[in-house]
Amino acid sequence: MLNKSVYDLAGGEAAFRLLVQRFYARVARDPLLRAVYPEADLSPATERLTLFLIQYWGGPSTYSEQRGHPRLRMRHQPFAIGQAERDAWLGHMTAAVESLALALPVRKALLDYFATASSAMINQPPEESPAAR
C-alpha cells in the first residue's frame, strides 16, 4: 500500500466508473433525489462525478482540465439540498461502495469522505418538526 493512491488501490478508472454507475442506477429510482437532477438524462452527471472522483482520489486530472476547479459548494448551490436529500445521497453512495470488492481501508476512506462531503452540500435549513412549533 506504500505510495499507492486510493485511485490505484480501488482498481483505477474501471472501479470508479462502476461505483458511479451503480450509484446513479439507484438515484434514477429515487423520487426524492431524482428531483434534484434537472437533466432528463443522468449521463452527464454520471460522467462529471466519475471524473471528479478519479481526480480527487489520485487519478488523471481530466475533471479540472474540462471543468476547472471543482468548487463543490458553489456548483451545488442552485439545488435544494436538505438533510433528507443528503441522507438519501449518502445511502445510495454507501450501497454503491459496499457493492464493490474493495479492501477495508479503501472502503473506509471512500465512505468517510462521502459522509463529510455530503454533509457539506446541505444548503437548506433543517425542517421544523411539528412538535417544535
Tell me which residue range forms the domain holding 62: 6-123
The most distant pair of C-alpha atoms in the chain lies apart, rounded to whole Å, by 55
Residue 65 placed within a domain: yes
Q: For residue 111, is it left (φ>0), alpha (ψ between -120 and 50) or beta?
A: alpha
Nearest to 82 by CA among 125, 120, 114: 125
Alpha-helix residue ranges (DSSP H) falling in the chain: 6-10, 12-27, 31-34, 43-56, 62-67, 72-76, 83-98, 104-120
**For position 79, what pLDDT does the model report?**
79
* Sequence-separated (6 or more) residues with CB below 8 Å from residue 130: none
Q: Domain tally for the chain?
A: 1
Residue 98 pLDDT grade (very low, low, confident, very high; cuts 50, 70, 90): very high
pLDDT at residue 67 tops 90: no
Average pLDDT over the chain, rounded to whole? 90
Residue 131 placed within a domain: no
Residue 130 placed within a domain: no
pLDDT at residue 30 tops 90: yes
Cα-Cα-Cα-Cα torsion 62, 60, 19, 106, nearest 10 degrees, comes to: -150
pLDDT at residue 65 tops 90: no
pLDDT at residue 72 tops 50: yes
Residue 1 placed within a domain: no
Residue 57 placed within a domain: yes
* Sequence-separated (6 or more) residues with CB below 8 Å from residue 49: 20, 23, 24
Residue 132 placed within a domain: no
Query: CATH number, domain at 75?
Result: 1.10.490.10
* Sequence-separated (6 or more) residues with CB below 8 Å from residue 59: 5, 7, 12, 13, 16
Amino acid present at 31 = P
Residue 75 pLDDT grade (very low, low, confident, very high; cuts 50, 70, 90): confident
Q: What is the pTM assigned to this prediction?
A: 0.88
Residue 78 placed within a domain: yes
pLDDT at residue 18 tops 50: yes
Residue 128 placed within a domain: no
